[in-house]
A and B are shown apart, each in its own frame.
Chain A
Amino acid sequence: MWIYEKKLEFPIKITTPDARLAKIMIEQYGGPDGELAASLRYLSQKFTMVTPEAKATLNDIATEEFAHVEMMGTIVAQLTRGLTKQQIIDSGLDAYYVNHGLGVYPSSAAGVPFSALALQSKGDPITDLYEDMAAEQKARSTYEYLIDLTDDPEVLAPLRFLREREIVHFQRFGEALDIARDYLKQEKVFDMGNTSNITWR
């Protein structure tokens, strides 16, 4: 289960609303390489992971990602608070506004609603850990593109923090992959969860 702690993992205090930034920041909330996809991916994959080290890694990174979902939602919420009608129209946030108002809805910056199609849970520890490493790199790239398009230092600070976390998570998943691979080689090469009873393997 989870305990909520009434604080952010990294503080966010944005004083100037900015509709254009809000419109692109939603990408890392509900986009294909965003934090919601990351958390659901690792949470789902942990149930069939092998080795204590890799299970702990998936469980705990999934948990941290939920804190990152909250951070991205916070960025969007604070960037939209106090926007004028004209700012919403001029920035092109109006298309979002007519559907969601200023509610925080999981979608990509291009307006595609969040989809579980952005993630996998394959029941194969090696496949899943490779996916996880790729996911961290995709998220890092996305944060770099967001940073490219951001001038507000109050938005840049949490974006830089989140980008750094992608790098650390990539490292930890790489270590978990090594551990899982060693384990599978040593003991039972083809025992990969629910596929172990398939005789042709």
Chain B
Amino acid sequence: MNREELLNSLTQLDFMAVDLGLYLNTHPEDTEAIDAYNQVIVAADTVRTKYEDAFGPLCSFRSYATDTQNWQWKNNPWPWQSQFNYSLAGKECK
């Protein structure tokens, strides 16, 4: 997978985790949702590691510095720059 595909996959998985987490806060005994949450977390961690190995750290003070010669964290592009992103225009759920 290229950078955009990895980022897209991770964005989707992390969003599922956010949304399931909010649901579980008010439905804490829904074991099916807890299982789904755990599966999403494992899948997201796998993708996050792949992304970080190839393109540098994603998390402030939680990610390894893969490049030990140069502090990669500061590198452009940052998420608010358009070059960082891909467009989902026209792909919204109807």
Q: Which residues of A contact B (CB under 8 A)?
A: 3-15, 52-53, 56-57, 60-61, 64, 70, 73-74, 77-78, 81, 153-154, 156-157, 160-161, 168-169, 172, 175-176, 179
Contacts and interface: CB of A to CB of B under 8 A. Distances in A.
Interface centre among A12, A61, A70, A73 (most CB of B within 10 A): A12
Given A8-B84, A15-B87, 5 more contacts: A3-B61, A9-B14, A10-B11, A57-B26, A172-B22
Nearest to B26: A175
Contacts of A153: 89-90
Interface in B67-84: 73, 78-80, 82, 84
5 contacts: A9-B14, A14-B82, A57-B25, A70-B79, A157-B87
Contacts of B10: 7
Tier of interface size on chain B: 35 or more
A60 B21 contact: yes
B36 interface: no
A10 B88 contact: yes
Contacts of A172: 22-23, 25-26
